[in-house]
Structure 1
Amino acid sequence: MSFLLSPMRRAAPKSIRAFSTTLPKPLARMTIVGRLGTDPEISESANGNQVIKYVVGSSYGPRDNRQTSWFRVASFAAADTPARGYLMGLSKGTLVYLEGDATMRTYDDADGKKQSALSLVQTKVEVLKRPQPSTEDNAEGGALGV
């Protein structure tokens, strides 16, 4: 005796809820792989909070016509945290993987012309490669026994 089994057919439930139960935010996320153009610096924001600022450059295009885009990044890592110490320990030339929340703002400059600025607030940073010490650093380190 043989039985013919057929798969159950059920209609997919109709959902009126979105995937997330949180309200959507007017926010864009960017991922950048590039090198630090400056050492990270601590400064104070307008409301008195400390912010770590740095620049990341990402290059694209053929070697003979390489272009670099520069991104200004802010991090709000709290004082006396490992994340802040890690970030402040990075130096110019470090290759990083960066994720950040991006917002575009428009403003009038001193001449009254409309300008646009992309603001990135770091949510994640990982070191991919540290810069090689220069030969001067190696010579000094050898002389100091470091």
Structure 2
Amino acid sequence: MASLNRIILIGRVAKVPELRYTPSGAAVANFRLAVDRKFSKNNETDFIPIVAWRRLAEICNEYLTKGKLVAIEGSLQVRTYEDKDGQKRTAFDVVADEMQMLDRGTGGGGAGGSEEQRRPNYDREPVGAPNGGGGYGHGGGYPPTDDGLGIDDIPF
């Protein structure tokens, strides 16, 4: 059976992106996303570390501010390391592939505006999507096939 490592989060930026560059020149941004636990009676919040690379890192650094509502899609990355005391530690990060800002206007609340403005636009390709599709409203990014079948050849 195939495996799948995919995470979709919607939350508010808790820590603004910190942009750095690797020695090879690749941009990397680290920030935290505050995501509420809806199933908890205590209204607990998780602060999830997000890592964005290359152009998406630069976009996150430019546009994301504390409190902004965003959707992040990516994968879970598990790292192990030794701390300064020699103890083995494990860290979990979400490596972002796509980011979509959900707040409308400059108010930052996201609750204002008409119903049409609040409805997500699934036809727009999310930031960071690879060329050739794969985003919302696309056919999965697969090229059309020409298998030689015409509309009259289909049995239904």
Q: Shorter chain as normaliser: what TM range?
A: 0.5 to 0.7
- Structure 1, gaps ≥5 residues long: 1-17, 19-23, 134-146
**Which residue of the partner structure matches residue 29 of structure 2?**
52
What do the CA deviations read for 1:55-74 (whole angstroms, capped 9, x no partner)?
11101146861211111112
| Alpha-carbon offset, residue 113 of structure 1 | 1.9
**Which residue of the partner structure matches residue 91 of structure 2?**
117
Alignment counterpart, residue 33 of structure 1, candidates 7, 10, 13? 10
Give the Cα separation in 2 of the matches to 1:50 and 1:58: 25
Q: TM-score, normalised by structure 2?
A: 0.56
Give the Cα separation in 2 of the matches to 1:75 and 1:50: 8
RMSD between aligned residues: 3.2
Matches within 5 A, 1:134-145: none
SS of match in other structure, 1:129: coil
Give the Cα separation in 2 of the matches to 1:46 and 1:110: 24
**Which residue of the partner structure matches residue 126 of structure 1?**
100
Give the Cα separation in 2 of the matches to 1:46 and 1:68: 35
**Which residue of the partner structure matches residue 42 of structure 1?**
19
Q: Which amino acid aligns with 2:101?
A: V
| Alpha-carbon offset, residue 32 of structure 1 | 0.7
What do the CA deviations read for 1:20-78 (whole angstroms, capped 9, x no partner)?
xxxx7x87221111100122221123654221222111011468612111111121133
SS of match in other structure, 2:107: coil
Contact 1:104 1:118 in 2 (8 A): yes
Q: Which amino acid aligns with 1:113?
A: Q
Q: Percent identity?
A: 27
Report which of the two structures shows the higher radius of gyration computed on alpha carbons.
1
Q: TM-score, normalised by structure 1?
A: 0.59
Tell me the number of residue pairs that the alignment of Structure 1 and Structure 2 aligns: 108
- Structure 2, gaps ≥5 residues long: 109-156
Q: Which amino acid aligns with 1:32?
A: L
Q: Relative contact order, CA 8 A, sep 6+: which one is greater?
A: 1
Give the Cα separation in 2 of the matches to 1:62 and 1:132: 28
Give the Cα separation in 1 of the matches to 2:32 and 2:49: 5
Contact 2:19 2:58 in 1 (8 A): no
SS of match in other structure, 1:37: strand
